[in-house]
Amino acid sequence: MTTHDQTFEALCQQLRKAAQLESINSLLNWDERTYMPSQSGEYRAEQIATVTSLTHDCRTDRRIGEWLDALADHPGLAEPASDVATVIRRARRDYDRHVKLPSRLVEELARQSVTGQQVWVEARKANDFAKLAPSLEAIVRLKREQAACWGYADCPYDALLDEYEPDARTRDVAATMEGLRAELVPLVQEVLGRDRGVPRDLLNRHYPQSVQARFGQEMAAALGFDFQRGRLDITHHPFCTEMGPHDCRITTRYDERFFPSAFFGILHEAGHGMYEQGRRPDQYGLPTGQYVSLGIHESQSRLWENQVGRSRAFWTHAFPRAQHAFPDSLGSVPLDDFVLAINDVRPSLIRVEADEATYNLHILVRFELEQALIHDELKVADLPEAWNAKYKQYLDIEPATNAEGVMQDIHWPAALLGYFPTYTLGNLYAAQFFEAMDREFQGIDRLMARGEFAPILEWLRTHVHQHGQAFTPAQLLQRATGQTLSHAALIRHLRGKLLS
């Protein structure tokens, strides 16, 4: 074994050790948001802060820097997409970012993110923004400090965005979202101007929670989510997390009077989960076994939720099963009525239940507000008023309460500022991936109508999941579709579904 080989192996062992610590943290966080007793929050925050500090120490070990310096002339770097080059390149990027953060800040952010989520649950339930505001103020202060430690190209928000979508710039994302908005708003108005005869009430019939859970799990498994390596649970705000190469947890929340809430939440999180399950297990903990960005991750969840799950072809296969599961609510409903109902377009207050056409306007609100928070152009105390004004501006509606307004998402209490724009990026990536796949298969609808979802998953495994961080999001998109990022595919998808 050469000196380079020995050094590279030492680096990999250290990265795997850090990943093990992070997986422990994931388990603690998953338990905190699912089954943890309500009075255990304070100690859980300390547990997570401790493990986060240990992980930070592991990732900032000075030996990593020394190993990376010694690997600067590794012959494997000649092939940028090789495993060796990917590990060295991404490990250098991550190490340089980690060492800029003091342990005190890392611990405090971890602690505040846990307590913030716990306060959010109670404050939202009580519709009491004043109860949540101190936690948000502390988080905003810490995130500004984090951005300052990392440094940035144009503005502090760049640093936070880069954590989730590497190399993205606020100005570029803003331009992309503005281009989408310019076509999306008139499209929504055109759809709203038509009388599509949508039977909206059928989704508000009685759908027993236990039956929803069985049906949702059955359909997630049919798409390809492996329940031998994953599970489905209940939470306040749906999420997906992994605790190892063969342990992926998805969650949802149920409403017995609104079928889409849990079902499409399950498909969405299963999409995330199939990306996790599709990564190379032998590379777990290394950049070669990690997801490339949250925008790409989101593309997987949105593709399965929308391009697949809201299509007529999917329900040609799935609707007889749904009718069997919910005979009282769907037994006499025509397929076309059901498909119209699940694709209803109308401005609404809740992001996770928004239709495909208006969803990105919800993201635009959050994108603009969190920039204003980080850049100290908006005070936390003024968030509810600013939120309501943005909803009036972009969706022409206003929430009656803060619980259905500014407090509906868990992201800011969880210290996830810079995260929201990746949802829109994910929608754009998803539309482009699906178009490319459709061209290659010469029509995916015929496969979905027969319940043949394996080819879709295999395409994604080949073009997205297996590459880890070998390519940037832009490179991955170009390789898979032959195109650069654009909103055109998403607009075509929406027009084809809603106006044809």
Given this model, what pLDDT does residue 373 score?
98
- Tokens 């003024």 belong to residue: 382
Given this model, what pLDDT does residue 418 score?
97
Contact 74, 87 (CB under 8 A): no
Residue 2 confidence class, pLDDT cut points 50, 70, 90: confident
Q: What are the tens digits of pLDDT across the range 222-260?
A: 999 999 999 999 998 899 999 999 999 999 999 999 999
Inform me whether the pLDDT recorded for 459 exceeds 80: yes
Percent of all residues in the chain with a pLDDT value above 70, rounded to a whole number:
100
Residue 400 confidence class, pLDDT cut points 50, 70, 90: very high
Q: What are the tens digits of pLDDT across the range 276-303?
A: 999 999 999 999 999 999 999 999 999 9
Given this model, what pLDDT does residue 317 score?
98
Given this model, what pLDDT does residue 73 score?
96
Which has the minimum average pLDDT: 180-189, 192-201, 341-350, 425-434?
192-201
Q: What are the tens digits of pLDDT across the range 191-231?
A: 999 877 889 899 999 999 999 999 999 999 999 999 999 99
CA distances in angstroms from 201 to 197, 254, 357, 426, 495, listed in the order given: 12, 18, 20, 30, 24
Q: What are the tens digits of pLDDT across the range 15-54?
A: 999 999 999 999 999 999 999 998 999 999 999 999 999 9
What integer is the mean pLDDT of 436-454? Answer: 97
Given this model, what pLDDT does residue 9 score?
98
Residue 352 confidence class, pLDDT cut points 50, 70, 90: confident
Contact 359, 348 (CB under 8 A): no
* Opening angle at CA 371, ends 290 and 300, nearest 5: 30
6 contacts: CB under 8 Å, gap ≥ 6: none
Counting every residue written for the chain, the total comes to 500
Q: What does residue 199 show for φ and ψ, rounded to 5 degrees?
A: -80, 75
Residue 374 confidence class, pLDDT cut points 50, 70, 90: very high
Given this model, what pLDDT does residue 1 score?
72
Q: What are the tens digits of pLDDT across the range 113-159?
A: 999 999 999 999 999 999 999 999 999 999 999 999 999 989 999 99
Q: Which residues pair with 250 in a beta bridge?
A: 232, 240
Given this model, what pLDDT does residue 248 score?
98
Residue of 222, 212, 207 whose CA lies nearest to 252: 212
Residues belonging to the active site: 269
CA distances in angstroms from 397 to 294, 357, 390, 409, listed in the order given: 29, 16, 9, 18
